[in-house]
Structure formats: C-alpha cells, structure tokens
Structure 1
Amino acid sequence: MRPALLLLLLALPWPLPAAAQTIHHCVDARGNPVFTDRQCSDLQAVPYTPRAAPETAAPAAAPPLLCAADFSALRQAVVEAFATRDANRLAGLMLWEGHGRQGVVAGIRRLAALMERPLVEVGRASSEATDDDGPPDAAMPDAVPADTAQTPPELVLRTASSDGSGVPDETRFAVVRRSGCLWLRP
C-alpha cells in the first residue's frame, strides 16, 4: 500500500466506543486534577465541581466626576482632589492645549507641590463672587477667544501660607466652558 493512501486512511475519523468518548475531570486524594475515561470512584477520586464565581461587591465610592457642568461642581471636584491629594485628578480638570508633554508633566508637578499645603478656600475672584458662588450660564461662554479683551472668570485656590506669615497663598486658574463642561486653564 502506498504511504500516502495509508496516511489518508489514518486521518479519517474513526468512531470510538461510547464509553471512551466521556472524559471525567476528577480530583485525587492529594488535590491533583485527574482527567480520565473511567469513573472518578474507580480511581478513588472525587468528581471536580467548579466553584461558583464570587459575587462582585459594589464599588466603595462613586466614580470621580469627569466633567463639571457648573461652577459649584468644578469647585467640589477641586476640593475632592485636594482631600485625596490627587494631583492627577486636579490635572484632569484642566485644558492642557498647547502645553506639550513636558509642559503637562511640569504642570502636574506644580499641582502636586501646591497640594502639599492645606487647602483653606476655593472660590471665585472677589470681583466675580456671587451668593451661590456659581456663575450664570450666560457669563460662561463656550470659549473665550484669546484675541478679545474679555477676561474669563477665575477660580481662586487659597492654601496655607508657605512663608509662615499666616496670609493664605493664592493660586488663580481661568475657568472656560468647552463642550458643555467647565475647565481650568493652567
């Protein structure tokens, strides 16, 4: 017989007896898995039963706010970033257009240094303050063009004094509305 014909005959599927087609997954006395065509009890092993998947717990905290729709939400997001000392979270509230990778990294380092001091107050610049500390939507245009004389509203962070004078340090960020969200400009 030719070798090619012999290989073809060997490659054809041959029916197996019904008993040989069942594979049992067992666990022996030492806890090792065993795969066999015999019953687990014949090998003094027990059938393997998969454990139920653990139930997933509800998240411990609500996910962080990703987009501030109004000034009070932006202010709260800043307070939460300071509470957790998360410079990346604060950086996520900013528009970094035109800063480049190195500029953004340097900016986040400055934010981390700022967050080393306790936060005293978060608010608007005194000339812009309102009763609810939130600007009306009309005061927050979608974008303030750079070539206009219009000054965008500002968010003022007051942190504990760095020089021991007791006078809080101020850091100001321009606030702009873009795509329905309020963002800080570094």
Structure 2
Amino acid sequence: MRFIAILLLFLLPVGAAWAQGDIHRCTGANGVPVFTDRICSDVNATPVMPAPSSSAQAPVELSQPPPVLCAADMAHLKQAVIDAFAARNPNRLAGLMLWGDDGEQAVVADIRVLGRLMAHPLIDVKVVPADDPPTPSTSALPSPKTGQGEALLVQTESDDGSGATQETRFEVLHQSGCLWLQLQN
C-alpha cells in the first residue's frame, strides 16, 4: 500500500502536466511575456510564435536527397554513390560500405581514402563484372576478389591535373536484403 502511495505521488505531477495541454507563449499588451494554457487572444495577448497548424505542411524541399540506408538494387546503389559525391561527403559513402570485422584504425584509414577519392570530381559510376580486372596504373584502391558477381567502377579525375581518369573499384555484396560496397585491404 505504501508503494502505491509513493508511486501516485510521483505520477501526480506527470498527470497534471499531461492534462494541462499545450503552453502558449504570448506577449501582453504592455510587452510583458505571458505563458498560458489558453489561446493568446483569450488573454488579450499576441502569440510570440505562430500556432502549429493542424493541417499537414508541404514537405520542405531539400538541397540534397536523403542518404540511402539500404540499397535495394544496383540502380539505387549507383545513385547513392553519385549522391555522396554530389554532397562531397565521405561519411555518406562510408554508410554504403559493409565494414565487417574492420578495426577502428582500418575504418578511419578507409574513410580517409574515401575523402581523398571524393576530393576529385566524379566522372562516372559504372556497374562492371567483378571478374573484370581494373587497369593497374589507374586503380586507387585494391581490386575486389574475382568471381563475386558485380562491382562498381568509380571514375574520377586523376591527381596529376592532366584530365585523365582514375578508376576505383568497389566489390558489391548482397547481405540482409541490401547491396553493400566493400573495400579490399
């Protein structure tokens, strides 16, 4: 019985706050702030902030699409890579990676590689067979294991400023209903 009485004492303020409803911040006729549970006009005051509308607001147009958390197919994965480059965000590209048992230092090193990769303008992203070997002189990252299905070939401008392209390959893995990129170390 004592436990129930103590519990009720703790729940009483919560219940009172819930029953109270919204608190409106208003400015009174004399410029003094007024806080009330009634509409500001009921107390001869003006709202400081407009009241929230009950109708659904139109979605705000974003400057960039939201990040892909699970690419369902190659088209989505390819577009997510393009979006990450458009945002110049190596963490967004890292969100498409399957990290597995990589330690903290390996992950940080890979994200730095992604950052250096994204410092160059993107030219193209192609879906290629995983068996297709990269050109050794232009590959920025180690090639994936062969015979694993598909890979993404990311083409960026090279470091030397010549306008040549640099190719970086990512193995594409299917896991948990999603497609993931993986760097080979």
TM-score by length of 2: 0.60
Summarize the alignment of residues 1-186 of structure 1 with structure 2, pairs less than 5 Å apart. 29-33=29-33, 47-48=44-45, 50=47, 51-53=50-52, 58-61=59-62, 62-125=65-128, 150-186=147-183
Unpaired segments ≥5 residues, structure 1: 1-24, 36-45, 130-147
Pair 97,33 (structure 1): closer, same or farther in 2 beyond 3 Å: same
- For residue 53 of structure 1, what is the amino acid of its counterpart? P
How far apart are residue 93 of structure 1 and its match? Answer: 0.5
When Rg is computed on C-alpha atoms for both structures, the one with the higher figure is 1
Deviations 1:13-55 (A, max 9, x none): xxxxxxxxxxxx99655311469xxxxxxxxxx6346541268
- For residue 32 of structure 1, what is the amino acid of its counterpart? V
- For residue 59 of structure 2, what is the amino acid of its counterpart? A
- Measured on the aligned residues, the alpha-carbon RMSD in Å equals 3.1
Deviations 1:65-90 (A, max 9, x none): 22111111111110111111111111
Aligned length: 134
Aligned partner of residue 122 in structure 1, secondary structure: strand
The 4+ residue runs of structure 1 with deviation greater than 6 A are 126-129
Pair 27,114 (structure 1): closer, same or farther in 2 beyond 3 Å: closer
TM-score by length of 1: 0.60
Do the aligned partners of 2:150 and 2:171 also contact (CA within 8 Å) in 1? yes
Counterparts of 1:26 and 1:59 in 2: how far apart (Å)? 27
Counterparts of 1:72 and 1:183 in 2: how far apart (Å)? 12
Aligned partner of residue 175 in structure 1, secondary structure: strand
Aligned partner of residue 80 in structure 1, secondary structure: helix
